[in-house]
Structure 1
Amino acid sequence: MLYRYNNCVIPFSFKGKLVFALFLVTMNITDCLAQPTARLTNLSAALPGAASAALNPPATPLITVDPYTSIWSFGDQLNDQPTRHWTGRPHDLNGLIRVDGRLYRFMGNPMFAGDTLVRPGARVTQEARFQTEAPDNDRWMQPDFDDSHWLRGLAPFGSRPTDRTPWKTPDIWVRREVMLDQLPKGRLLVSASYNDNYELFINGQRVAQASGVSARYELTSTNRAISELLKPGRNVIAFHSQNFGGQQFVDVGLLQERTLDLRAATQTGKSMSATQSRYTFEAGGVGLTVTFMAPLLMDNLDVLSRPVQYVSYQVRSIDGQQHRVELYQDASSDIAIDNPGQTVTWRRGRVAASSAKQLPLNWLRVGTAEQPVLGKKGDNVRIDWGYLYVAAPANPGISHRIGTLAGAINQFEREGIVSDIRAGGRPLMLTDSAVVLSTSFDLGMVSEKAVERHLLVGYDDRQSINYFGKPLNAWWRRYDKQSTDAAMEQALQAAEADYPTLQKACSAFDQTLYADALKAGGDTYADLCVLAYRQAIAAHKLVANPAQTGAPQPLFFSKENFSNGSIGTVDVTYPSAPLFLKYNPTLLKGMMEPIFEYSESGRWTKPFAAHDVGTYPIATGQTYGEDMPVEECGNMLVLTAALAHVEGNANYARRHWPVLTTWVEYLKKEGFDPANQLCTDDFAGHIARNANLSIKAIMGIASYGYMAGKLGDKQTETTYLTLARDMARKWMELAKDPSGTHYTLTFENPGTWSQKYNLVWDKLLGLNIFPIEVAQQEVAFYLTKQQPFGLPLDSRRTYTKSDWIVWTATLATTQADFEALIQPIRRFVTESPDRVPLNDWHETTNGHKVGFQARSVVGGYFIKMLE
């Protein structure tokens, strides 16, 4: 049996205290014993196929259905703060265990706004100092910094008509003095409106950071005591905000955070596999294991699409005594709304058992009274149509309640159960206390033999995507034309019946994925693949496109999370593709099909591929303000060739050959020496003559030739492969740095460099367009440019994209070089101070998040497995 003693893992079989003591001495682990918080924790509950102990996820996925139903535990402890939607908005799942009448919190920590400390600028008139050029002193946020030469203005700062002080540059730095008479107890909350990023400092201490867009004032917990950050008298609030496009605005206020005063169970372990997250706790002499299972199995699209996932519990005595145990879990109505204050209604019901071996299911549901189906689009928004469901078998020891959080917890603390005290169906306005769907489990007297229970959590969105004016159902609803309640009841029933089978299937897949990734790239690589799996899938929605004849066709729409909210973005599909090429190419076709159809329908008339088909979930045409001609043409051509490679035929390419031909003709004319145009890596600004973008064009041309060969057209194959090789030779002349050590960022620009990750397809498709020495030379050079948290994207700045690092590392010809390039990513994941769903754009010098989070592009980590 394995045990962990702090950071030491010990193989051990109890034969008495003396043997244990001798074993510790023999293993020379006195450092472990010296730690004052040392605990001996049983690791036998670790998940099969789990990531190694070296991985500490910045956030852990709990419920991951799609971009709207996506609930995470930010940070390390499941009971340290509220569970959250990937955007950071609380989407509360709370869990309590009652042991011999004593209550412990194991999941969640509901957050409420208390006293206002500093009003945002929109609600008070107070002057601040600001400037739009980078301060020449890195102490600009400190209280003693001299800002007398800075400009004066009133918040909010921005480009909207309602903003008090105009701001139209990419960056702004603001300092504001506030006087406080006294400080309330508790932790500090930040209330902020922003587009796109802000970083906040209080009296010189960095306390918060957020990215994305929030026109409303978002609450963010600092997890710091007010008294640690503020003081009676003068305080300086300073923030830096960035904008990457569109309207810009920023405003910040401070409040007290209030939480329910419940003692926390002691978390003793956490493990994560591709489809499951597991936590272990101790409380009052019992051990509790909580497992979240998302059956995102790509060989079964019905199960992958079904919007029902599982929370299971295992409880046993760990002190040799019997204990009276009850469990409680709730799910808040904030999961079914976009903004606090929306009115909700609720219902409860029962689904009959599907077999003699199965109990009926009791279900609870909640949703907005308004039900504006497909009524809004955007990035930092949440669904406010459809219904959140919680269901459990109709066991005599399981009871339910719909009501306020405080009422449910108070009843559970008193009685060890919850039960309804209000009639369902009438609206309730949400204020400080959300409506919760709560369930209690009476486990009776618990001994060393484990007692198990489980709960189903699901979300029925009724309709999922507006596809050029046609509302599309989720794939699991593809034959339900009326969007009925009965369809969701049947989905719950099927999910309950499938639970034992899916437990085995998920565990088997988790082990297979980890073993495959371990073989492909080592343990660091396997850890990254485990971390990326659920996030990459859940940033998509699988829907059914009704066919004129025959069966519906699957479309798999991505949402560009916390970058602009676009739907079906080509340069998000491109980095995400390796995961789906590996496990189900049908899903990649479902990502690409809307772009093909957009052009083939005549709606998109330009001679290059579109950037997107709208803003999620409204797919009615490109909404991004700028085209990416070379980027998107190259992406679509390369990915279509990759599909031909993994499927062994070019049948999919044949269906779209005319538009692929249009795109390759564009690359022949415009791709080799690109003009000053947008590409996917333009975080530091647009550039002309982009060497990596040129490689993408060359690989797109080569991909067209490769596909022609697969279709039996040898003449076209020879023509385009020859053209690509000629371009490659010319590329080497124009991009070679005079030092002879590497190739430049842009043509004929000595002393610059960039990651040439687009070269990876030459290797994976076996095209032999570039001499292998090009990639070898680049990899050797990159190893000299490593920073503590990764390889910078290019020579202009020190930030990076982790997905591109893995692609670049796959160019390496030795395992040692591959691991050297990816190990800093695991360090970033583990040590980054920004504990949020994995972000793919971070600073390599200090591990801070620059932007984005919870995006599908981490599916690109799987590219090494394609090799």
Structure 2
Amino acid sequence: MTLLHLPATFILLCCSTFVVHAAQTFWPAAIPLAIRTPYLNAWIETQHGNLSSNEFPFFWNRVILGWICYIRVDGMSYTLFGNNGFPSNYSLTSGFVLETRVTPTRTIQVIQAGNVNATVTFLSLVDPSDLVRQSLPFAYTAVDVVSTDGQSHDIQLYSDISGEWLCGLSERATQEMTWSTTESSDMVYHQLQLAQPSPFQEADQQASDGTVYHAMALGQGRNVTWQTCEDTVCRKEFILSGGVNSHNNNDTFRNIQQDWPVFPISVNLGSVVSSNDPIVWVLGYVRNPSINYTLSGEVATLRPYYTVEYATAEAALEFAVSDFNNSLTLAKAFDAEVYKAASNVSADGKLYDMLSLATRQVYSSLEITAPQAVGEQTNNMTRVFMKDMGYDRRVTPVETLYAALPMFLHYNASFLKPLLEPLLEQQNSSTNSSPYAAKDIGDSFPVVSGPTLASEESVERKNMLSHDKDHIPNLISNTETSNMLIIALAHAQYANDTSLLHDYYGLFKKWANYLLEQNGQFPYQQSSIDDGMISSNSSNLAVKAIFALQAMADISRLVGTDNDTRYYNSTASSYISTWKSLALSSSDDPMMLTTLNGSQDTWSLPYNLYPQTMLGFSLVEQVLFEKLTVSYGQQIQPSSGDGFVYGMPIEEASGSLGNIGLLTIPKNPHFIFKGVFTAWNAFTAATFANDSVRTQLLGTLWEYASNNQTNDRFSAVYNVESGQSINGRSSPALGGLFAPLVRSGSPGHSNSSLHSNDIETIVGGVVGGIIGLLALLALLLCFLRRRMIRQIVGLSGAAGTRTEPTPFAPVPAFAPRPPVCLPSEKFWREKGTSTRPEEAPLLPSTGNSSTTSNAHVSNPLAIPLEANSGLDGSRQDELLGLRSEIQDLRRIMNVHLVGREPSDLGAPPEYS
């Protein structure tokens, strides 16, 4: 998605600092502050519409992080965030939160502090088209102040951090930390780290091998001071005097919780009506190397991607400190574009609210690494890894990547390639013999140990059996196989890039054949990741397998293997016919059923129909989508009595619509409960054929996202009746909320019916073809003009010497030549012959009469002359050649236009 060249974006940016739709109505229970990586991940609660700024930020798993910010106005201090912890006799109180706005890149709070309003902007830039920027592990906190009474006020600001950013709660009492402070002409920064870091280890989900930075730019005539000291000393000093001493008065390295060392930076603005420029702190958590990667038994350590441009963390920090204004401009453009796209689907702004919460949440789960050869791989690929945030430490969980797929397709589908590369190269290695796809590539992020195969208790699985169970072995298959095939095709279509399809075609075919061999029509005894229940013949999982086979057909077509294309096409068509006869009820408004050919009184959420909507398949008729929309639209209605306030359940069971599926306790006590209910609702909304029904379902999801009666982040799995979070807090699965924006035919989507061996060839062919047509037209006009002149003047002058009219200057030998356009094989097949006749000349001869006649006889494109033309032989030959050449040129141009498959490729995505 191009963000910086859009007139509509510019108009939105000029309207307001906030990209909002109305007065604040959206009150999530927690809002993101510094959200960049799995370990730079800070939130703050807004539970019960909390309007106080007296709260400490916390890590995504609700462990407190030491981070506080004060503003001092005319000698009275207020907290902008962070618990003050001081007795009442100190002149310190909580600021009053007037307004909170969340955009995809920013969280903005307007806080009243005496006669001043402070606008606090937490900026975590999202730029998926620039891997250097996206991989920078730094976030901004900016404060703008303005007087509310028009008078000048004496204003100072203060922010500090503690060592709680360095490790998890269980280690803070025993881990010793070290620190230093550096001041240059451009910036000042604190740097702190553990005395004995543990590479690639976590404690309570926090890394134990990173370095924390707290920085501010110098200059602009501002009075900036800094210090290192015990928390009660530094904070008290600011409250009493409005600043801190610019020196270290506590250099004794010690445990994180021993006398609580903190690292403040403060600014004295003096007496002002408003700040001319924002006061900006930069907070960072840097790990280098960031990923421990094993491939084919060889271990490598991968470094962050930003190191391709900045050799040291300090150089990257210096750039970040100086780049705030540009980052803010980029962020505003990004937010405006998302707002525009979301408003086209949901004019009430509710979808935009949810996408604003989801965007940073998804991108903060990623580690982007620099190209480096690993094992036998020597192509220096860029690799991206996803942490299974909200659940555990799994590395790039396939079911979560599949749930988040719409977000990556919307923002920049090219970003999927470095996410898929590690999954594919790991499973394409000689050490992997599994016939089906793995569920992840490691269970202890940030250590990539290799493909993890499905186990019966921990991931969705299915035994693909036909009705004739006596003749087909009972084998376990992995639904991640279907996910991988669908993701691979989606990347190729939306990114206009078939490189992965070519590189790993054998792997894709092996997975597709596994689905076929195990008969993906009838899943048997499957334990679903959605509800933990064991069931057979799930219609949802059956249709996903069928779509996966159709995806393989399209993959084969893009790679150019015609036999495979026909085989997988026919299989998918056959399977879908059976599925439709068994999975849909016989009423006029069919619902998806829990089981194939099962009870007509139960239903399940048809979220696995979304691949057709996303990829442009035609397996299920549009009329069925319309009927399903009507049927589920009736279920969403409040008048239905089902009470679907916060979205629809995965399925109905035992007649209890709200207390099922995700809400049931799994029968298997060892089953780890997981699911992505929020994404599945969004997938379903995207498949609805009616805008009002789609908006209604999205509205129920918004009610959950805006439910601040709990203290949990926007979660992937929650109770559909109460809105209580169950699992998946901060999960990247919320990228599925972008599904309503990613539909076949939407901007940026490439038609899956393109028949090509390479998308890049198609793009070049389209451009080259247009140039070729223009060149042919020019040549034709020139040719006709020369013919006319030669017919008037003759080929010889009066003196018997040859005259050659020269209306144009000679073409230099080095000049570019127009491309040659020949009739396609499709054209010759339509003419009734399988290939172009070898004897048919590309352009008819203009020689003597006998030669022309022979060419006419052998050329099926030649045009016969009337018997009584009244022309002599030479004139007849001349006109015959002219008419034949004109007709052939016309046919060639028609073939070039008609024979080409339709394309809406558009420009390639911007991608570094």
Are the counterparts in 1 of residues 398 and 480 from structure 2 also a CA contact under 8 Å? yes
Equivalent in the alignment of 2:713: 837
Equivalent in the alignment of 1:850: 726
Question: Structure 1's 59 and 431: CA in aligned 2 closer, same or farther, altered over 3 A?
Answer: same
Alignment of 1:565-714 (within 5 A): 565-615=393-443, 616-622=445-451, 625-626=455-456, 628=461, 629-670=477-518, 671-681=520-530, 683-714=531-562
Q: 1:547 aligns with which of 373, 380, 383?
A: 373
Question: Structure 1's 84 and 808: CA in aligned 2 closer, same or farther, altered over 3 A?
Answer: same
Equivalent in the alignment of 2:592: 743
Aligned-pair distance for 1:89?
0.3
Equivalent in the alignment of 1:178: none
Alignment of 1:84-103 (within 5 A): 84-103=58-77
CA deviation map 1:743-780 (0-9, x unaligned)? 21122320221112121111222220122233333332
Equivalent in the alignment of 1:770: 620
Q: Is residue 106 of structure 2 the alignment partner of residue 106 of structure 1? A: no
Question: How many matched pairs?
Answer: 667
Aligned-pair distance for 1:607?
0.6
Aligned-pair distance for 1:645?
1.2
- Name the structure where helix makes up a greater proportion of residues: 2
Q: 2:363 aligns with which of 537, 549, 557?
A: 537
Are the counterparts in 1 of residues 426 and 451 from structure 2 also a CA contact under 8 Å? no
Are the counterparts in 2 of residues 742 and 778 from structure 1 also a CA contact under 8 Å? yes
Aligned-pair distance for 1:860?
1.0
Q: Find the aligned partners of 2:505 and 2:526 in 1 and give their Cα distance.
A: 26
User: Structure 1 counterpart of 2:323, which letter?
Assistant: D
Deviates more, 1:668-677 or 1:302-311: 668-677
Equivalent in the alignment of 2:569: 721
CA deviation map 1:49-79 (0-9, x unaligned)? 6787332222111111111110011224472
Aligned-pair distance for 1:269?
1.0
Are the counterparts in 1 of residues 28 and 707 from structure 2 also a CA contact under 8 Å? no
Q: 2:345 aligns with which of 520, 529, 546?
A: 520
Equivalent in the alignment of 2:151: 321
Equivalent in the alignment of 2:799: none
Are the counterparts in 1 of residues 24 and 100 from structure 2 also a CA contact under 8 Å? no
Q: Is residue 761 of structure 2 the alignment partner of residue 790 of structure 1? A: no
Q: Is residue 328 of structure 2 the alignment partner of residue 503 of structure 1? A: yes
What SS does the corresponding residue of 1:445 show, helix, strand or coil? strand
Aligned-pair distance for 1:846?
1.6
Are the counterparts in 1 of residues 144 and 274 from structure 2 also a CA contact under 8 Å? no
Q: Is residue 106 of structure 2 the alignment partner of residue 276 of structure 1? A: yes
Are the counterparts in 2 of residues 690 and 747 from structure 1 also a CA contact under 8 Å? yes
What SS does the corresponding residue of 1:831 show, helix, strand or coil? coil
Q: Find the aligned partners of 1:631 and 1:260 in 2 and give their Cα distance.
A: 60
Equivalent in the alignment of 2:132: 302
What SS does the corresponding residue of 2:706 show, helix, strand or coil? helix
Q: Is residue 681 of structure 2 the alignment partner of residue 805 of structure 1? A: yes
Q: Is residue 303 of structure 2 the alignment partner of residue 476 of structure 1? A: no
Runs of 4+ in 1 over 6 A off after TM superposition: 258-261, 548-551
Are the counterparts in 2 of residues 630 and 697 from structure 1 also a CA contact under 8 Å? no
Q: 1:348 aligns with which of 180, 186, 193?
A: 180
Question: Structure 1's 269 and 46: CA in aligned 2 closer, same or farther, altered over 3 A?
Answer: farther
Are the counterparts in 1 of residues 182 and 188 from structure 2 also a CA contact under 8 Å? yes
CA deviation map 1:448-488 (0-9, x unaligned)? 565531111111112211111322111112578xxxxx701
Question: Structure 1's 50 and 428: CA in aligned 2 closer, same or farther, altered over 3 A?
Answer: farther
Q: Find the aligned partners of 2:379 and 2:319 in 1 and give their Cα distance.
A: 22
Are the counterparts in 1 of residues 228 and 251 from structure 2 also a CA contact under 8 Å? no
What SS does the corresponding residue of 2:682 show, helix, strand or coil? helix
Aligned-pair distance for 1:704?
0.6
Q: 2:269 aligns with which of 429, 443, 450?
A: 443
Question: Structure 1's 371 and 261: CA in aligned 2 closer, same or farther, altered over 3 A?
Answer: farther
Question: Structure 1's 809 and 460: CA in aligned 2 closer, same or farther, altered over 3 A?
Answer: same
Q: Is residue 37 of structure 2 the alignment partner of residue 66 of structure 1? A: yes
Q: Find the aligned partners of 1:763 and 1:266 in 2 and give their Cα distance.
A: 46
Q: Find the aligned partners of 2:446 and 2:22 in 1 and give their Cα distance.
A: 33
Aligned-pair distance for 1:423?
5.5
CA deviation map 1:418-473 (0-9, x unaligned)? 22664566421233753222111101001156553111111111221111132211
Are the counterparts in 1 of residues 177 and 256 from structure 2 also a CA contact under 8 Å? no
Equivalent in the alignment of 1:128: none
Question: Structure 1's 387 and 649: CA in aligned 2 closer, same or farther, altered over 3 A?
Answer: closer
CA deviation map 1:121-173 (0-9, x unaligned)? xxxxxxxxxxxxxxxxxxxxxxxxxxxxxxxxxxxxxxxxxxxxxxxxxxxxx
CA deviation map 1:495-528 (0-9, x unaligned)? 1232221111111111011101211343222222
Q: Find the aligned partners of 1:45 and 1:659 in 2 and give their Cα distance.
A: 50
Alignment of 1:199-278 (within 5 A): 262-278=92-108
Aligned-pair distance for 1:331?
1.6
Q: Find the aligned partners of 2:159 and 2:223 in 1 and give their Cα distance.
A: 14
CA deviation map 1:16-50 (0-9, x unaligned)? xxxxxxxxxxxxxxxxxxxxxxxxxxx99752367
Equivalent in the alignment of 1:758: 608
Q: Find the aligned partners of 2:338 and 2:729 in 1 and give their Cα distance.
A: 23
- Name the structure where strand makes up a greater proportion of residues: 1
Question: Structure 1's 631 and 679: CA in aligned 2 closer, same or farther, altered over 3 A?
Answer: farther
Aligned-pair distance for 1:702?
0.1
CA deviation map 1:181-223 (0-9, x unaligned)? xxxxx9xxxxxxxxxxxxxxxxxxxxxxxxxxxxxxxxxxxxx
What SS does the corresponding residue of 1:553 show, helix, strand or coil? coil
Q: Find the aligned partners of 2:317 and 2:191 in 1 and give their Cα distance.
A: 12
User: When the two structures are superposed, what TM-score results if normalisation uses the length of structure 2?
Assistant: 0.70
What SS does the corresponding residue of 1:263 show, helix, strand or coil? strand
Aligned-pair distance for 1:414?
1.6
Question: Structure 1's 335 and 464: CA in aligned 2 closer, same or farther, altered over 3 A?
Answer: same
Q: 2:315 aligns with which of 490, 501, 518?
A: 490
Q: Find the aligned partners of 2:64 and 2:22 in 1 and give their Cα distance.
A: 27
What SS does the corresponding residue of 1:454 show, helix, strand or coil? strand
Deviates more, 1:52-61 or 1:841-850: 52-61
Are the counterparts in 1 of residues 177 and 255 from structure 2 also a CA contact under 8 Å? no
Aligned-pair distance for 1:649?
4.5
Are the counterparts in 1 of residues 678 and 736 from structure 2 also a CA contact under 8 Å? no
Q: Find the aligned partners of 2:378 and 2:611 in 1 and give their Cα distance.
A: 35
Unaligned runs of 5+ in 1: 1-42, 113-185, 187-257, 353-358, 481-485
Q: Find the aligned partners of 1:572 and 1:259 in 2 and give their Cα distance.
A: 51
Q: Find the aligned partners of 1:78 and 1:465 in 2 and give their Cα distance.
A: 39
Q: Is residue 653 of structure 2 the alignment partner of residue 827 of structure 1? A: no
Q: Find the aligned partners of 1:399 and 1:551 in 2 and give their Cα distance.
A: 48
Aligned-pair distance for 1:591?
2.0
Q: Find the aligned partners of 2:55 and 2:250 in 1 and give their Cα distance.
A: 29
What SS does the corresponding residue of 2:133 show, helix, strand or coil? helix
What SS does the corresponding residue of 1:96 show, helix, strand or coil? strand
Are the counterparts in 2 of residues 49 and 510 from structure 1 also a CA contact under 8 Å? no
Q: 1:286 aligns with which of 116, 121, 129?
A: 116
Q: Find the aligned partners of 1:726 and 1:743 in 2 and give their Cα distance.
A: 19
Alignment of 1:171-182 (within 5 A): none
User: When the two structures are superposed, what TM-score results if normalisation uses the length of structure 1?
Assistant: 0.73
Are the counterparts in 1 of residues 108 and 119 from structure 2 also a CA contact under 8 Å? yes
Q: Find the aligned partners of 2:526 and 2:76 in 1 and give their Cα distance.
A: 64
